[in-house]
A and B are shown apart, each in its own frame.
Chain A
Amino acid sequence: DTEVTQTPKHLVMGMTNKKSLKCEQHMGHRAMYWYKQKAKKPPELMFVYSYEKLSINESVPSRFSPECPNSSLLNLHLHALQPEDSALYLCASSSGANVLTFGAGSRLTVL
């Protein structure tokens, strides 16, 4: 298995909702990432988990809460989001100081 799987592919939520994005990989990668990408912009790093521990938080607002239950899973919990948070959320994994493999992304719309 050489893929990173993200669910859901599309999510529409209101500003008072609580939802979660999920990411899974079975490549034995020990680093997992969340990136946010707005239209016609490059991916922006949000969080990095290394060996299931949060190693980088790029000053992301607390309404985004990452969780790494085990080495294969990465979640992004969403609460009280704003319309400007609408974007493509990309999960990626890597074996360390090496190539990142991206999932297809979860397209989030906040109403």
Chain B
Amino acid sequence: GQNIDQPTEMTATEGAIVQINCTYQTSGFNGLFWYQQHAGEAPTFLSYNVLDGLEEKGRFSSFLSRSKGYSYLLLKELQMKDSASYLCAHQAGTALIFGKGTTLSVSS
């Protein structure tokens, strides 16, 4: 079976750093994805981890520990436009199964 857990909501201020955690349980692992979704829009791809460690992409980084079933998305130098839902997703075959998402609110 597959189970993905992440916090429902988080708040932060402009310029800060925030870490969104995701834990998962799965019978087979093919990769861990992070997507960003603004209200009323489609999800957009942020990052992908298949091996343990940190993947850095500008202000966004994602970490994976397969032995712990754990990932996090790190957002640096937060901007107001980063207010969105952040979806952790596990790959099952060729499909993505999403967690419930974390709604991040960035205030000035």
A109: interface (CB < 8 Å): no
A94: interface (CB < 8 Å): yes
Which of A's residues lie within 8 Å of B, judged by CB?
31, 33, 40-45, 48, 50, 55-56, 90, 94, 96-97, 99-105
Task: Chain B residues near A56: list those with CB within 8 A.
Answer: 93, 95
Cβ-defined contact, A42 with B41, below 8 A: no
Query: 10 A-B Cβ contacts within 8 A?
Result: A40-B103, A41-B100, A41-B101, A42-B98, A45-B97, A90-B42, A94-B94, A102-B42, A104-B42, A105-B42
Interface size on B, residues (CB 8 A): 21
Q: CB-nearest residue of chain B relative to A43? A: B98
Cβ-defined contact, A100 with B30, below 8 A: no
Q: CB-nearest residue of chain B relative to A49? A: B94
B48: interface (CB < 8 Å): yes
Choose from A40, A90, A96 the contact partner of B94 (Cβ within 8 Å): A96
Given contacts A43-B87, A99-B33, A103-B42, 6 further A-B contacts (CB under 8 A): A45-B97, A50-B94, A96-B94, A97-B31, A100-B45, A102-B43
B23: interface (CB < 8 Å): no
Task: Chain A residues near B100: list those with CB within 8 A.
Answer: 41-42
Cβ-defined contact, A42 with B95, below 8 A: no
Task: Chain A residues near B48: list those with CB within 8 A.
Answer: 99
Task: Chain A residues near B93: list those with CB within 8 A.
Answer: 48, 55-56, 97
Closest 10 CB pairs of A and B: A42-B98, A102-B42, A31-B94, A99-B45, A42-B101, A104-B42, A48-B95, A102-B43, A45-B95, A43-B98
Q: CB-nearest residue of chain B relative to A47? A: B95
Cβ-defined contact, A97 with B95, below 8 A: no
Task: Chain A residues near B91: list those with CB within 8 A.
Answer: 97
Measured CA separation A66–B87 after assembly (Å): 26
